[in-house]
């Protein structure tokens, strides 16, 4: 495994980090507790020392599972990354969306990152995770009802109190990141990035390279699509959010699978899976510090972790990039 420093912080994270959204069950059609805990522990055994979660993932369920999974591991050997600012227990802030919890009960979610809310959420996360500090605390989504400076001031307070080791943002544009950095030199920005979703390369990546801000890429496998295992007629579990997204339209699934067929021989030549090839390509991209890879069981977790165990030569990366240049998705 490779370990990389997050921005200007003291936190070193594994280049492949365990993404704990799916194990929360919410928006993924549920999850199995035992499988989730085994997935995290299998990931750790392969050298993945970092776990990224959030309170909204199962309304606390993901954080609780992460806390259970790391029991018995020396705290200094694991990095806990979590978030704040997606509240389902208040009607303050900027309304985000309607959803349901894991039991099917309706919920309204609000983006809210006022100072007192940030500090309260941090305390709640510490309790659920069973720890006395968080390695990286990130605002989950921008909150247009709270000044960016106020949110950053709350993070500065938590840094001074030792409740967090580093502060980050998530889903921030280059413009918002510049505004945040006027108050606090945040360590990272967590944003969507994959072979088929590369919009951050235009503005955000150059700015992060210029300022030394790390990029944490989420959904590098495009929520499972880039594994090559999803077909146009795939049947999703009730509550799974993926069928409603652009990339999961049947025609786009067909086109992406055709692209994957072009690079599949390279994976075979290197003795790796498509998933591993995709993750390796991602963590080799300019500006990308960490890629989050979710897993719902131990086998998936171990496979993802091993993406850092091999390298890609320049001509191999060029082969992938050429095939990508020929991929056109239906909008």
Is 193 among the catalytic positions? Answer: no
Of 292, 328, 312, 299, residue with least CA distance to 136: 292
Give the number of other Cβ atoms within 10 Å of residue 199's Cβ.
11
Query: What whole-number distance in Å separates Cα of residue 64 and Cα of residue 6?
Result: 24
Query: Torsion over CA of 255, 256, 262 and 264, rounded to 10 degrees?
Result: -140
- DSSP labels, 148-213: HHHHHHHHHHHHHHTSBS-EEEES--HHHHHHHHTT---SEEEEE-BTTB-GGGTTHHHHHHHHT-
Out of 3, 57, 133, 172, which one is annotated catalytic?
57
Of 58, 138, 145, residue with least CA distance to 110: 145
Of 123, 187, 196, residue with least CA distance to 152: 187
Residues labelled as active-site residues: 57
């Amino acid at each position: 495994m490779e370990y990389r420093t997050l921005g200007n912080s003291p936190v070193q994270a594994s280049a492949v980090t365990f993404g704990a959204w799916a194990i929360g069950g919410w928006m993924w059609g549920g999850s199995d507790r035992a499988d989730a805990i085994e997935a995290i522990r299998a990931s750790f055994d392969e050298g993945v020392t970092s776990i990224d979660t959030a309170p909204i993932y199962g309304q606390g369920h993901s954080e609780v599972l992460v806390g259970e999974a790391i029991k018995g591991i020396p705290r200094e050997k694991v990095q806990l990354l979590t978030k704040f600012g997606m509240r389902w227990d208040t009607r303050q802030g900027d309304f985000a969306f309607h959803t349901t919890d894991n039991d099917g009960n309706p919920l309204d979610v609000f983006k809210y990152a006022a100072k007192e809310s940030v500090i309260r959420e941090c305390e709640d996360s510490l309790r659920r995770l069973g720890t006395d500090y968080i390695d990286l605390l990130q605002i989950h989504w921008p909150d247009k009802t709270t000044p960016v400076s106020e949110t950053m001031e709350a993070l500065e307070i938590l840094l001074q109190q030792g409740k967090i080791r580093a502060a980050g943002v998530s889903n921030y544009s280059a413009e918002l990141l510049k505004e945040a950095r006027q108050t606090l030199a945040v360590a990272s920005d967590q944003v969507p990035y994959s072979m088929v979703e590369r919009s951050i390369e235009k503005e955000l990546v150059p700015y992060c390279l210029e300022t030394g801000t790390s990029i944490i890429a989420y959904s590098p496998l495009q929520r499972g699509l880039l594994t090559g295992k999803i077909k146009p007629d795939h049947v999703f579990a009730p509550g799974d959010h993926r069928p409603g997204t652009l990339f999961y339209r049947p025609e786009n699934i067909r086109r992406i699978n055709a692209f994957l067929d072009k690079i599949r021989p390279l994976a075979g030549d290197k003795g790796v899976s498509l998933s591993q090839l995709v993750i390796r390509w991602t963590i080799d991209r300019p500006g990308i510090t960490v890629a989050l890879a979710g897993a719902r069981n131990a086998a998936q977790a171990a496979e993802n972790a091993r993406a850092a165990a091999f390298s890609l030569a320049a001509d191999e990366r060029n082969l992938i990039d050429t095939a990508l240049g020929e991929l056109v998705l239906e909008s």
